[in-house]
Amino acid sequence: MADAVPSKGQTIAGRILGGLVILFLLFDAGLKLIAPQIAIMHSPSGLGWPLDGPTMYLLGLLLLIPTLLHIWRPTAVLGAILITGYLGGAIATHVRIGSPLFSHSLFGVYLGLMLWGGLWLRDPRVRALIPFAKGAAA
């Protein structure tokens, strides 16, 4: 199906979108792994998570591994699925404590849309799975 093959522009746009998300996720995971005390200092209290080093390391690893899987093309979709699960937990945590909707609670949704949008733009497998293009649902 010719519609499923992304153009050069779509591929570049997908890489930019995905790259922005990856940079953010690597920064977030790296901060939790390398400087957990700084991550603890900037974490809002009342999230329901223990604010200690071991918890930060665990959260950092749980984010770093799927992000690395997403970076490697053969496992990009698996990484995106796992990152989506991680973001879902973040969304649920913010909804549970009543964080502001558009700036905090939905931030994971914004990242997820950018992640999957970038993947859809550059990966024919995802385009075939999610046929948004006109005439692709034939």
Task: Tell whether the torsion through CA atoms of 108, 126, 24 and 63 is positive or negative.
Answer: positive
Residue 44 or 23, more confident: 23
Structural domain includes residue 8: yes
Q: In the prediction, which pLDDT does 102 show?
A: 94
Structural domain includes residue 26: yes
| Among 102, 80, 103, residue whose Cα is nearest residue 18 | 80
Provide the residue range defining the domain that includes 70: 2-129
Structural domain includes residue 135: no
Q: How many domains does the chain have?
A: 1
Give per-residue pLDDT as tens, 64-94: 999 999 999 999 999 999 999 999 999 999 9
With beta carbons less than 8 A apart as the criterion, state whether 122 and 11 touch: yes
Check residue 93 and report its DSSP letter: H
> Residue 85 and residue 98: Cα distance in Å, rounded?
20
CA 21 to chain centre: 6
Instruction: Give the predicted TM-score (pTM) of the model.
Output: 0.89
Structural domain includes residue 39: yes
